[in-house]
């Protein structure tokens, strides 16, 4: 209801398109993409919506816009850990491992979300940093003893 009110009252605002896309991305990703594709990340003036726009754009296969938005959010220091993880995953998929580890920043080093820690581990393995990878895998295994993914990642390479 709040998004409907926002989009009815302010249909031409970027934030309205982003909010509507949040509702559509799972059920109607093509509609979400249509709302997002003409947005220039440099024109987003509500800084806190940059990361959301970036993550949504990447999910809607608008990779260039999404990456640009996440990079801007990181440069401005307003990113969420999820923004960094999504950007790092894009770079990892593109085999740009140096950019992936830079995008991670400090997330996944100690504690925190398992998926972020495993992403960091995958990047370290791809970078050929076995000592750091082993240290991180040990830390992951201590924090999540029932999860075997860290061992699998290490053994896979």
Rounded CA separation 79/85 (Å): 10
Average pLDDT over residues 135-146: 93
Residue among 113, 110, 156 nearest 132 (CA): 110
pLDDT of residue 29: 94
| Residue 157 pLDDT level (bands cut at 50, 70, 90) | low
Residue 42 φ then ψ, to 5° = -70, -10
Query: Whole-number mean pLDDT of the chain?
Result: 94
In the block, tokens 């995958």 appear at 122
pTM over 0.85: yes
Residue whose token pair is 């393995």 = 125
pLDDT tens profile 60-76: 999 999 999 999 999 99
- pLDDT, tens digit, 9 for 90 and up, residues 15-40: 999 999 999 999 999 999 999 999 99
pLDDT tens, residue by residue, 75-99? 999 999 999 999 999 999 999 999 9
Q: Position of tokens 């140096």?
A: 98
């Amino acid at each position: 209801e709040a998004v409907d009110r926002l989009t009815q009252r302010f249909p031409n605002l970027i934030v309205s398109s982003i909010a509507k896309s949040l509702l559509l991305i799972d059920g109607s990703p093509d509609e979400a993409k249509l709302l997002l594709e003409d947005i220039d990340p440099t024109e987003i003036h509500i800084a806190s919506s940059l990361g959301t726009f970036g993550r949504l754009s990447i999910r809607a296969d608008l990779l260039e816009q999404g990456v640009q938005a996440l990079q801007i959010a990181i440069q401005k220091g307003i990113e969420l850990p999820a923004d960094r993880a999504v950007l790092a995953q894009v770079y990892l998929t593109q085999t740009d491992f140096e950019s992936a580890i830079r995008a991670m920043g400090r997330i996944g080093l100690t504690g925190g979300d398992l998926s972020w820690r495993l992403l960091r581990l995958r990047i370290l393995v791809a970078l050929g940093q076995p000592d750091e990878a082993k240290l991180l895998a040990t830390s992951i295994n201590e924090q999540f003893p029932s999860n075997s993914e860290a061992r699998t990642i290490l053994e896979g390479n």
